[in-house]
Amino acid sequence: MLRLSELVSNQFVEKGQAKTDASGKFVLKGTSALPGIYQLKVDDANQVLLLLDNKTHIELSGDAKSLPATYSVKGSKDTEVLRKLTQVMEGSKTELQALGQRYNAAGQAGKAEEMQAVEKQYYSIQARNNARLKSLIRSNATSVVSGFAVGAFLSPEEDFQFVDSVASVQRKANPNSPFTKELTARLEPMRTTATGAMAPEINLAKPEGGTMALSSLRGKYVLLDFWASWCGPCRQENPNVVRAYNQFKDKGFTIYSVSLDQDKGKWQKAIAADNLTWHHVSDLAGWNSAGGAAYGVKSIPQSYLIDPQGRIIAKNLRGEALSAKLEEVLGKKLMK
């Protein structure tokens, strides 16, 4: 049984079903007020995305047992673009999953060097995928698919300027598309924390008592780091942050960590266990943290590199990328 579902508010809602005939053919008919993203599903392992509207008749063919890898589309340029975009993501899915397993195994075995090597490989593949996705999106900037893809396949938080430029094109080309409206609404609060913006103030309690404002560190490069003791990826990233801190702490760099913990004891224990010897604050409000709200934090780890004047110059630098950026900016500072 084939099932066709429409993407509505980030959820797929079933719209129709069809059985194949003896030759494997099927027909599905329906109407849609606007072009939309649909999922054609054979089973959990075999599903593809389509761009459907009232004007287009499309023909899809492929092997039902391995549909994502074998399907082709006739009659819809937008769906062909969508196929290429999803193939970029699917093409490295197995490789990325394997690297994730290797990283976790190395972490459990305490093999820091292997973790770094795997992490470098992982981010290299992600960077390659993002470059391919951006190229496809640029080439099809006015397609409604691009409005969907930048929100679904890229990170507006990490690549605000590119995503915002696509949203601007979409507002002119597809103003009534739900993807244009959702993307615009999602981007609006990010403008206050976009690269180049002044870092919003945070002033929260320190573990030892009293409060500390982010702005009190003006004059230094500051890594604003959102994390929590219960966050596995945060704890895995901490050794990289410690290395960067130890390398640059005497060259005009420091760290201001905002914890999304709720238990003060667990927060303090994690600080000591991971040897995080820099500035720490928290209101112990979890996801309701005032600091997190100021930056629209929806996931962690999340970080911002802030220059001595208080301006955001980079986001979410992980692994060797953080040290490389600090080498770049502090090297320039020391040469002046």
Same domain, 222 and 325: yes
pLDDT band at 335 (very low <50, low <70, confident <90, very high): very low
Write down which residue in 193, 222, 244 finishes a domain: 193
Residue 67: inside a domain: yes
Q: How far, in Å, CA of 215 to CA of 311, rounded?
A: 11
pLDDT for res 333 = 54
Write down which residue in 129, 163, 193 finishes a domain: 193
Residue 83: inside a domain: no
Percent of the chain scoring above 70 in pLDDT: 99
Write down which residue in 171, 193, 215 finishes a domain: 193
Length of the chain: 336
pLDDT band at 55 (very low <50, low <70, confident <90, very high): confident
Q: Total domain count for the chain?
A: 3
Same domain, 172 and 61: no
Mean pLDDT of 152-164: 86
- Sheet (strand 279-281) strand order: 279-281, 253-259, 221-227, 302-306, 312-315
pLDDT for res 173 = 96
Q: How far, in Å, CA of 115 to CA of 183, rounded?
A: 35
pLDDT tens for residues 80-124? 999 999 889 888 888 999 998 998 888 888 887 888 888 889 888
pLDDT for res 109 = 87
Same domain, 208 and 294: yes
pLDDT for res 336 = 47
Residue with tokens 């006739």: 74
Q: Can you list the alpha helix ranges (DSSP code H) found in the chain? A: 67-70, 77-91, 93-108, 112-139, 144-153, 160-173, 178-187, 232-248, 264-273, 290-294, 320-335
pLDDT tens for residues 200-252? 999 999 999 999 999 999 999 999 999 999 999 999 999 999 999 999 999 99
Average pLDDT, the chain: 90
pLDDT tens for residues 271-298? 999 999 999 999 999 999 999 999 988 8
pLDDT at 44 over 90: no
Residue with tokens 């600090």: 326
Same domain, 13 and 119: no
User: Could you list the residue range(s) of the whole structural domain that residue 154 is in?
Assistant: 93-193
**Can you count the helices (H) and strands (E) in the chain?**
11, 13
Nearest Cα neighbor of 290 from 204, 194, 199, 223 is 204
pLDDT tens for residues 141-154? 999 999 999 988 88
Same domain, 307 and 218: yes
Residue 88: inside a domain: no
pLDDT for res 314 = 93
